[in-house]
Amino acid sequence: MEGETDEEQQRFSYQQRLKAAVHYTVGRLCEEVAADKEMQFSKQTIAAISEVTFRQCENFAKDLEMFARHAKRSTINTEDVKLLARRSNSLLKHITEKNEEIAQFNLERKAKKKKKLEDSREPPDAGVEESKN
Amino acid sequence: MQSSRMRKPWLRLVENITPSSPSLHSSQRRRSLRSAQRTLLETPSSRRLSSQTKTTARQCSYGANAIGKWSHVQASRHLEEQTPRTLLKNILLTAPESSVVMPESVVKPEPAPQLVQPSRQESSRGSLELQLPELEPPITLAPGLLALGRRKQKLRLSVFQQGMDQELALSQEPRGNADASSLTSSLNLTFATPLQPQSVQRPGLARKPPSRRPVDVGAFLQDLQDTSLALAPLGDSHRTPVATLPTDTVLEDTQPFSHPLVGRSPSVHHSLPCPSHIGAADAERAVGHRTRSSGPKLQNNSLGKPAQPLVERAEEVNALDMGFPNINSSVSGEGGVKPLEDRVGEEAEERMEEGLSISEMKEATGVQRSAKAEEHEGHTEVQEAEGSQGAIEAMEPEGSSGDEDTSGGTATPELASNTPEFLQARRLHQFLEPTPPPSAADLCSEPLGPLSARLPPRARTIGPRPHKDPYKAGLSHYVKLFSFCAKMPMEKKTLEMVEKCMDKYFQHLCDDLEVFAAHAGRKTVKPEDLELLMRRQGLVTDQVSLYVLVERHLPLEYRQLLIPCAFSGNSVFPAR
């Protein structure tokens, strides 16, 4: 029994820390926006935004898991994220663009790696490949 | 065991006799047993016991000390065999093996090959499902018992038994076996299972297994058409929304959403020719009847390729849509205005009616938009189906109007994902509220009243096309119901707004379903997609599964179609 309450307390404190982190990030972002638009954000606003963000993150996580399971996968994919963001067009566009960027980046990385590997492998493997062929 | 012994006081005698004195001489035991037997000779059950005790007595003569235990065991075994538990066990053991048709073909029960004949005889008399449960006890009896049974014939009381014996006498089985089975016939009296008076000579009385022949869809549809034609002259209030549509050209091209049970129902997948001139009333009545009467006999009516993308819809939509296609299939033979109104479950009835009119809307809309893309068309129809479903759920419970207003108001400014969830949650919440029967009755009787009153005057108003957008024509009916349920005068703007919200809601819903299906790499929307949607809406949770919701809100017919149930003959419907 005590172990359970300890666990609960641990989880609660963990949750609080996460909330604090979210709050901090939201505060920073609001500062930037305030500086940009020359408007002030009240503390309650920032608190409200961070609370909403946190709760939405919980929802998103559950939804993402559901989507992944719906597609009979055990890993959450970018497709799941895109499905999640489909409601707002701008957000969806943004995410799709980012996704493409990342994909491209990955491809480039792979190409680079391959080149490196080929360069490093060529001298010793040249003989092996010829023998294989 | 103890309890069973307590219940049968005569058995206690055996108990007292057998284990009490192992030192008794066998003859003494025999005497005591015989005295016990005499006292028990009157009743047939005691007769059974006496035969058993005689068996034990006989067996006692074989040995000295071992007899006590042996007879005790025998008696106890006999005692055991008469408990309901053992009898049921016997039933279960012997039931599948029994075949009433031919006695020889019956598989003999396990115990003794020597007593195959009596078992066969009994099984021939037994019912199809329940083999005579007394098979085992008599089988374990020694053959000498059969001779005893012969003596008991004169003591038999009931004419039935005598009749049984006569039938048995006709058989080729040896007399002993017949007596054994006649003994068992006496035993049968204690059981609720009716004994089938069948013998070898009368195989025709055998209970045949129910043969479900496939529904002749063509003939059925033809009947429907005929009846719909017959009922066409009857007008209906619900005809108003449809009345303005030119039915013949419009409805003939209609290919609304696919039948939800295409992939599942065992019935023939049949595309109906849409009888265009179905009256709205007929359709409604028909749906009301069909949904109640028809089980798996659903048809895929007026389906076409446009419906293919939405071949398999999720449960609730499917369940309600099941009623809708039936409109196209026109009225069922049972149709008629009155029987519907006499039906129990007025809520369901109202739902049917609403659904019917909505489906008619869908037909109209479907036809007029036939030029558009298939999926889109399916979407609209499905949307309206959804709209009908949602509206039905919203309308039925009392006091839904207030919530509807507020929800409609909140829906307009923001069409975020929260809103449809909120709406649906509110609606279902209303649905979950227990509707007091009298108020529900009042509610249901009231709409029926004015609607039926409007029946005659509306019958003639088949006029020009609706000036409204047919896309939303289906929802107008629900908006009207909404205004009725509000019990307050409502502005036109409000109604328009409500209609807009419903439209958006269902559009959204169907887009989601499409996306979910695509997400799973499919082209058809499946029930899993709708389950996912409901989960996102918060209706289906870890505590509340989809089946729970189906059971809560849908009538029995829909539930039968949605939730897999095992039926006799090892068939599960709907097949998973």
What is the identity of the amino acid at B125?
Answer: R
Average pLDDT over residues B426-433: 47
**Predicted TM-score of the model (pTM):** 0.36
Judge: B520–A72 Cβ closer than 8 Å, yes or no: yes
Top-confidence residue, B100 or B217: B217
Q: Cβ–Cβ of B536/A83 closer than 8 Å?
A: no
Q: Above 50 in pLDDT, residue B429? A: no
Overall average pLDDT of the B16-25 stretch: 51
Q: How much is the pLDDT for B416? A: 43
Least confident stretch, B89-93, B95-99, B137-141, B526-530: B137-141
pLDDT tens-digit readout, B39-70: 544 454 545 544 555 555 454 445 445 444 55
Average pLDDT over every residue of B394-418: 41
Question: Which of B158-162, B244-248, B341-345, B559-563 shows the lowest mean pLDDT across its residues?
Answer: B341-345
Which chain B residue has the Cα nearest residue A63?
Answer: B536
Query: Percent of chain B having pLDDT more than 70?
Result: 22
Q: Output the CA angle B510-B516-B521, nearest 5 degrees.
A: 130
CA within 13 Å, CB half, B522: 20
Tell me, what's the pLDDT at B540? 83
| Residue of A66, A67, A70 to mutate when probing chain B, most B C-beta within 10 A | A70
Q: Is the dihedral angle over the CA atoms B527, B530, B534, B536 positive or is it negative?
A: positive
Query: In chain B, what residues touch A71 (CB-CB under 8 Å)?
Result: 519-521
Q: Please say whether the beta carbons of B390 and B424 come within 8 A.
A: yes
SS (H, E, C) B107-155: CCCCCCHHHHHHHHHHHHHCCCCCCCHHHHHHHHCCHHHHHHHHHHHHH
Find chain A residues with C-beta within 8 A of B516's C-beta.
70, 83
Kindly tell me the burial class for residue A40, based on how many C-beta atoms sit within 10 Å of its own C-beta (0-12, 13-18, 19 or more).
exposed
pLDDT digits (tens, 9 = 90+) for B179-196: 444 444 444 444 444 444
For residue A92, the model assigns a pLDDT of: 85
CA neighbor of B480 nearest in space, from B465, B501, B496, B456 = B496
Q: Is the distance from CB of B233 to CB of B311 less than 8 angstroms?
A: no
What is the number of residues in chain A?
133
Q: Output B89 or B185, whichever has higher pLDDT.
A: B89
- Using N-to-C axis directions, what is the helix angle for B346-368 and B374-395, rounded to 10°? 160
Number of Cβ pairs < 8 A linking chain A and chain B: 24
Return the higher-pLDDT residue of B562 and B336. B562
pLDDT band at B214 (very low <50, low <70, confident <90, very high): low
Instruction: For residues B471-490, give the mean pLDDT.
Output: 80
Taking the C-alpha atoms of residue B291 and residue B468, their distance in angstroms, rounded to an integer, is 31
pLDDT score at A50: 93
- Are A66 and B528 within 8 A, CB to CB? no
pLDDT tens digits, B226-243: 777 766 555 444 444 444
Q: Which residues contact B443 (CB under 8 A, 6 or more apart)?
A: B396, B398, B485
pLDDT of residue A17: 92
Digit-coded pLDDT (tens) for B142-163: 454 454 545 555 555 556 666 6
Rounded to two decimals, the ipTM of the complex is: 0.74
- Whether the per-residue pLDDT at B465 is higher than 70: the answer is no
Beta strands B565-567 and B571-573: pairing type?
Answer: antiparallel
Which residue did the predictor score with more confidence, B277 or B467?
B467
Q: Which residues of A touch B (CB under 8 A)?
A: 63, 66-67, 70-72, 79-80, 83, 86-87
- Asked whether B88 and B144 are in contact (CB, 8 A), the reply is no
Distance, in Å, from the CA atom of B220 to the CA atom of B228, rounded to the nearest integer, reads 12
Strand partners, B572: B566
B273-328 pLDDT, tens digit each: 444 444 444 444 444 444 444 444 444 444 344 444 444 444 444 444 444 444 44
Highest mean pLDDT among B2-11, B80-89, B93-102, B462-471: B80-89
Query: What is the model's pLDDT at position B300?
Result: 43
Considering only residues B24 and A93, tell me which one the structure prediction assigns the higher pLDDT. Answer: A93
* Option in B416, B519, B535 nearest A83 (CB): B519
Question: Region B531-558: what's the mean pLDDT?
Answer: 85
Among B78, B70, B65, smallest CA distance to B145 is for B78
464-523 in B: which are within 8 Å (CB) of A?
Answer: 515-516, 519-521
| Residue B362 to residue B462: CA distance in whole angstroms | 18
Between B148 and B570, residue with greater pLDDT: B570
Q: What does the buried/exposed string (b/e) look like for A65-100 if buried means 16 or more CB atoms within 10 Å of the residue's CB?
A: ebbbebbeeeebeebbbbbbbbeeeeebeebeeeee
Across chain B, mean pLDDT equals 56
Cβ B451 vs Cβ B238: under 8 Å: yes
Q: What pLDDT, in 10s, does the model give residues A21-57?
A: 999 999 999 999 999 999 898 999 999 999 999 999 9
Spatial contact of B537 and B420, defined as CB atoms under 8 Å apart: yes
- Cα separation, B532 vs B509, in Å, equals 12
Shortest alpha-carbon distance between residue A88 and chain B (Å): 8
**A56, A67, A90: best mutation site toward chain B, by most B Cβ within 10 Å?**
A67
Cα-based distances in Å from B143 to A123, B147, B175, B566: 96, 7, 12, 43
The string of DSSP codes covering B313-353 is: --HHHHHHHHHTHHHHT---TT--HHHHHHSS-HHHHHHHH
What would the mean pLDDT of B81-89 be, rounded to a whole number?
80
CA distance B568 to B375: 39
List CB contacts (< 8 A) between A63 and chain B: 536
Give per-residue pLDDT as tens, B123-132.
444 444 444 4
pLDDT of residue B120: 47
Q: What's the pLDDT score for residue A42?
A: 92
Task: Give the CA dihedral B373, B375, B381, B386, nearest 10 degrees.
Answer: -150
Cα distance between residue B364 and residue B472, in whole Å: 11
